[in-house]
Amino acid sequence: MKYLGYLILLAGVLAGYLGLRVWLVFVLAFLSTFAFASARRNVLQNTPQAPDKNMVLDGMFLFFSQILVLFAVYLLGVFIASPGGDLFADFLTGKRVGPDAGMTE
Q: For 5-19, how does the pLDDT look when each residue is reduced to its tens digit (9 = 90+)?
A: 899 999 999 999 999
pLDDT band at residue 93, thresholds of 50, 70 and 90?
A: confident
Is residue 32 within 8 A of residue 70, CB to CB? The reply is yes
DSSP 75-98: HHHHHHHSTTHHHHHHHHHT---S
Q: For 32-52, how does the pLDDT look when each residue is reduced to its tens digit (9 = 90+)?
A: 998 888 887 777 777 776 566
Centre a 10 Å sphere on the Cβ of residue 8 and count the other Cβ atoms it contains.
19
- The rounded distance, in Å, linking the Cα atoms of 2 and 26 is 22
In the chain, what percentage of residues exceed pLDDT 90? 41
Please give the backbone phi and psi of residue 19, each rounded to the nearest 5 degrees, phi first.
75, 30
pTM exceeds 0.95 for this model: no
